[in-house]
Structure 1
Amino acid sequence: MELQTDRLLLSRPTTADVEAIFAVHRDPETCVHNPSDALARIEEAEALYRRWDAQWQQYGYGYWVRRHGSAQQLGFCGIKPMGVHGAPVLDLL
């Protein structure tokens, strides 16, 4: 699935995005408000991609790769099922 605007292309991550996942999540400024998202090794980015991909396979939605008219990575956003106080919810990130 893809969504496209005049400035952004939002598409499902692929294995080709692992390097970008690592680049974004190893940057300390990216994770300043959520330090648990910080990655130190490429293997962690590969594992994160596999979790995102598994969610896509199970639910048909998940994190999206945000790109601006070029190959430059801007970041990630998406939808993640989770529980809050024992109730299932969707987290929009």
Structure 2
Amino acid sequence: MDLNTNKQCSPALLSCGSGAAFSDKLLLKPKTLQTERVPRSSVLERLQGFLPQMAEANKKLKQQMEQGPPGSFDIESVEGGRNSHRNGCSPGRAGVVR
């Protein structure tokens, strides 16, 4: 394609100009931003109160896992009542959702 014969392309279309507007377009002198303190969220307050409880529960669970029998903390096998459940998909029914 010959650029000299293209009527849609010209130096005027490619020029950004000069002066103050030119530096604003290029963001050479960005305006200073004001930082403001954001009020605390109630969700953040509740989370901060919950995290120490979670850490303590994890600590207790780790101690129980170290002291208990090896198979008692298998999260994939749940024994209870009359039925025994195994989490996950069986090989013949992978991907089946009901």
Q: Which structure has the greater CA radius of gyration? A: 2
The structure, 1 or 2, with the larger RCO (C-alpha pairs under 8 Å, 6+ apart) is 1
TM range (shorter): under 0.3
Name the TM-score, length of structure 1 as normaliser.
Answer: 0.21
Q: Which has the higher strand share?
A: 1
Name the TM-score, length of structure 2 as normaliser.
Answer: 0.20
